[in-house]
Amino acid sequence: MTTQTQSVTAVVAYPPAEPGKPTLKHETLTLSQLRPQAGEVLVRIIAVGICHTDVYVGGLPAEAMSYPSALGHEGSGYVEAVGPGVTSVAVGDPVLLSYTYCGECDLCTDSMPIYCQKFNEENIGCVSKVWTTEDGKEVGGKFFGQSSFASLSVVDEKSIVNVKGLADNEEDLKKYCPLGCGLMTGSGAVINVAAAKPSDVVLVTGLGAVGLAAIMAAKIQGCRAIIAVDRIDSRLAIAKELGATHTYNTSGLDISSDSYATDLAAKLKNIAPDGKLNYAIDTTGVLPVINAQIKALSKRGKLIQIGIPITNATSSIPLDMQDFFHVTKRMETNFLGDCLAKEFVPRMIQWHKEGKFPFDKFIKFYDARDAAQALEDMKTEVIKPILIH
């Protein structure tokens, strides 16, 4: 490379006009750091999935987030340059991108980097100023070590999964980009966290990409019953196609009712074979739904909480400790399916090649210029939008 700067197109997040509603603009930026530093890789991003974490972070108020910033953490592309000490990739390698971590804390050195003590600091803040806008504003990057909403990005080596030999063409890279977060989170919750067995009954609430990945993983594990719960019939139909044995639409229940959790728990117990519910995987974050799942769990049943809790006046749920204790129920919050991306992403690719993980049934491609429309479409029928740079 002979130039010292390069123009880049990117979807840039600005302070939201309303809480929880990201303001995204597609624009041309200048990337000044064309030579990656130690432990960094320059990646030409060709595709990126939009995840609800992008929506959540992009909807934070200005005092809680550094704006403007390029988000995006389900990227794929090709290596353009490598920094000193980088050994896992070479120029030209196809890569998928995932989370980063400090690599030094007790949890990182104990092979649990998903729970890195500095996870938020390393992944969320976008404090690294990687680009500038045409009017001179600095734009934050390194979101999840990658900021793949930009077409050329400086990426932490720890965020990279080399897929040479697994995804050697652009069509595969475009399709596989969501494996780095949402699909890994849902499937990992079943495979790693629950370690679900053929004798188990698994409940999944919320049928976005994370929930549907959990449905597919439960089918891979051969679980005897897989219960899918959502408010949208089309998503329940997809879940059935992907392996759900039972479905339930909650739209007929009044979520504002004091009896909602008890009523939903009764419905779930009635659906579950023999009333047995071993694992509940919540991707909704809706407190009454979470409460209902705890109530419905069987002896030694476990709730695996993935969805970020949606709070208004309170973030609390009532917990019947007598029931919780005497039925010996369990609850665990979980990040990223307890997955080491470099190990788990190739497994998902192999499942897909074998026809066991057909996530392409619920992806939709958009030009990156149409990111705002993709975001809007996620509220209704589109489950996993993928932006093409």
Shared-domain flag, residues 176 and 191: no
CA distances from 55 to 99, 123, 263, 348, 352 (A): 16, 15, 31, 24, 27
Residue 104 and residue 34 in contact, taking contact as beta carbons nearer than 8 Å: no
Q: Classify residue 274 by burial, with Cβ atoms within 10 Å: 0-12, 13-18, 19+.
A: exposed
Shared-domain flag, residues 265 and 246: yes
List per-residue pLDDT tens for the chain, 389 residues long.
Answer: 444 678 999 999 999 988 889 999 999 999 987 789 999 999 999 999 999 999 999 999 999 899 999 999 999 999 999 999 999 999 999 999 999 999 999 999 998 899 999 999 999 987 788 999 999 999 999 999 999 999 999 999 999 999 999 998 999 999 999 999 999 999 999 999 999 999 999 999 999 999 999 999 999 999 999 999 999 999 999 999 999 999 999 999 999 999 999 999 999 999 999 999 999 999 999 999 999 999 999 999 999 999 988 776 677 888 899 999 999 999 999 999 999 999 999 999 999 999 999 999 999 999 999 999 999 999 888 999 999 99
Is 342 part of any domain? no
> From the centroid of its chain, how far is CA 12?
19
Beta pairing partners, 132: 30, 138
Shared-domain flag, residues 175 and 277: no
CATH code (residue 278):
3.40.50.720
Shared-domain flag, residues 165 and 212: no
Shared-domain flag, residues 151 and 117: yes
Query: Cis bond leading into 68, ω under 30°?
Result: yes
Shared-domain flag, residues 15 and 83: yes
CATH code (residue 117):
3.90.180.10
Shared-domain flag, residues 253 and 300: yes
Shared-domain flag, residues 164 and 192: no
* Total of domains in the chain: 2
Q: Which residues contact 22 (CB under 8 A, 6 or more apart)?
A: 13, 16, 54, 55, 58, 59, 375
Shared-domain flag, residues 211 and 308: yes
Is 155 part of any domain? yes
Shared-domain flag, residues 363 and 286: no
Shared-domain flag, residues 171 and 192: no
Is 344 part of any domain? no
Parent domain of 176: 6-180+358-388
Phi, psi angles (nearest 5°) of residue 203: -110, 135
